[in-house]
Amino acid sequence: MHGDEMEYVFGHPLNMSLQYHTRERDLASHIMQSFTRFALTGKPHKPDEKWPLYSRSSPHYYTYTADGTSGPAGPRGPRASACAFWNDFLSKLSELEHAPCDGAVTGPYSSVAGTTLPIILLTALATTVAL
DSSP string, 6-30: HHHHTTGGG-TTS---HHHHHHHHH
Distance separating alpha carbons of residues 125 and 120, to the nearest angstrom: 9
How much is the average pLDDT of 81-94?
A: 75
Model confidence at 6, in pLDDT bands (50, 70, 90)? very high
Model confidence at 24, in pLDDT bands (50, 70, 90)? very high
Average pLDDT, the chain: 78
